[in-house]
């Protein structure tokens, strides 16, 4: 095996979109790959304190966390490239649309198929960076990702993952097994 040293090389890494409101009420969205679910109704965002999103989180105490589909890959990537500190019209440049969440003081991006509406619970300043814990208040899903029983079908998300090793994105969606079932036969050995 070849050694690469201490690197953040895990795959897949998520591509989550954090939506907040700026002081003037305009929409801010940034792509986040470092974070995710940390408890039954909690998410963790690992961010650099300099992000405009962090300023917004401190003021509004609310955010949305969405999963983008491949149909918004270019816009979503742009949200990871551009800083709202330097481009105040970042969201408008993409042509995406937002509406106000009914549960938290944050925007819901209409083109994103799955959105968690979250309230900020805690800011944790760690030696390795800033972690923000958020409580999931509600989940919104587009009708286009629901199955015939009204449940969310992950294969319809057309989600994509980030590859930290090569800086590429990969589409996700093909089912290859069933959790707590595919390996259950090994319990009988």
DSSP-derived secondary structure for 50-103? TSHHHHHHHHH-EEEEEEPBGGGHHHHHHHHH--TTT-TTHHHHHT--EEE-SS
Q: Is 128 a residue whose pLDDT tops 90?
A: no
Q: What is the mean pLDDT of residues 109-136?
A: 96
In the chain, the number of structural domains is 1
Q: What is the mean pLDDT of residues 73-90?
A: 95
Q: Is 189 a residue whose pLDDT tops 80?
A: no
Q: Is 81 a residue whose pLDDT tops 80?
A: yes
Determine, yes or no, domain membership for 1.
no
Q: What is the pLDDT of residues 20-75, one digit of tens each?
A: 999 999 999 999 999 999 999 999 999 999 999 999 999 999 999 999 999 999 99
Determine, yes or no, domain membership for 49.
yes
Q: Which residue has the tokens 């050694």?
A: 3
Q: What CATH number should be reported for the domain holding residue 111? A: 2.30.110.10
Q: Which long-range contacts (CB under 8 A, 24 or more apart) does 21-26 make?
A: 21/56, 21/60, 21/105, 21/106, 21/107, 22/52, 22/56, 22/84, 22/88, 23/56, 23/59, 26/88, 26/89, 26/91, 26/92
Determine, yes or no, domain membership for 10.
no
pLDDT of residue 125: 94
Determine, yes or no, domain membership for 45.
yes
Determine, yes or no, domain membership for 2.
no
Determine, yes or no, domain membership for 176.
yes
- DSSP label of 166: T
Determine, yes or no, domain membership for 5.
no
Whole-angstrom distance, CA of residue 63 vs CA of residue 56: 9
Enclosing domain of residue 128: 16-188
Q: What is the mean pLDDT of residues 120-144?
A: 96
Higher-pLDDT residue of 174, 93: 93
Q: Is the dihedral of CA 72, 114, 45, 99 positive or negative?
A: positive
**pLDDT range class, residue 174, cuts 50, 70, 90:** confident
Whole-angstrom distance, CA of residue 147 vs CA of residue 153: 6
Determine, yes or no, domain membership for 60.
yes
Q: Is 173 a residue whose pLDDT tops 90?
A: no
Is residue 11 classed exposed, middle or buried when 0-12, 13-18 and 19+ CB atoms within 10 A define those classes? Answer: exposed
DSSP-derived secondary structure for 94-132? HT--EEE-SSSSSEEETT-SEEEEEEEEEEEEETTEEEE
Give the pTM.
0.94
Q: What is the mean pLDDT of residues 93-113?
A: 98
Whole-angstrom distance, CA of residue 162 vs CA of residue 178: 23
Would you state the structure tokens that stand for residue 69, as one six-digit string? Answer: 């589909």
């Amino acid at each position: 095996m070849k050694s690469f040293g201490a690197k953040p090389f895990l795959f897949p890494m998520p591509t989550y979109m954090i939506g907040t409101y700026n002081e003037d009420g305009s929409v801010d969205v940034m792509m986040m790959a470092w974070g995710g679910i940390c408890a039954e109704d909690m998410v963790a965002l690992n961010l650099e304190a300099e992000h405009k999103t962090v300023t917004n989180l401190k003021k509004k105490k609310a955010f949305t966390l969405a999963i983008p589909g491949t149909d918004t890959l270019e816009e979503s990537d742009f949200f990871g490239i551009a800083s709202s500190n330097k481009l105040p019209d970042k969201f408008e440049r993409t042509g995406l649309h937002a509406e106000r969440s009914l549960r938290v003081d944050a925007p819901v991006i209409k083109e994103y198929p799955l959105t968690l509406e979250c309230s900020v619970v805690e800011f944790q300043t760690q030696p390795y960076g800033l972690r923000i814990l958020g409580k999931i208040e509600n989940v919104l899903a587009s009708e286009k990702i629901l199955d015939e029983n009204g449940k969310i079908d992950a294969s319809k998300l057309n989600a994509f993952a980030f590859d930290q090793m090569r800086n590429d994105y990969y589409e996700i969606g093909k089912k290859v097994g069933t959790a707590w079932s595919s390996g259950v036969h090994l319990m009988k050995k």
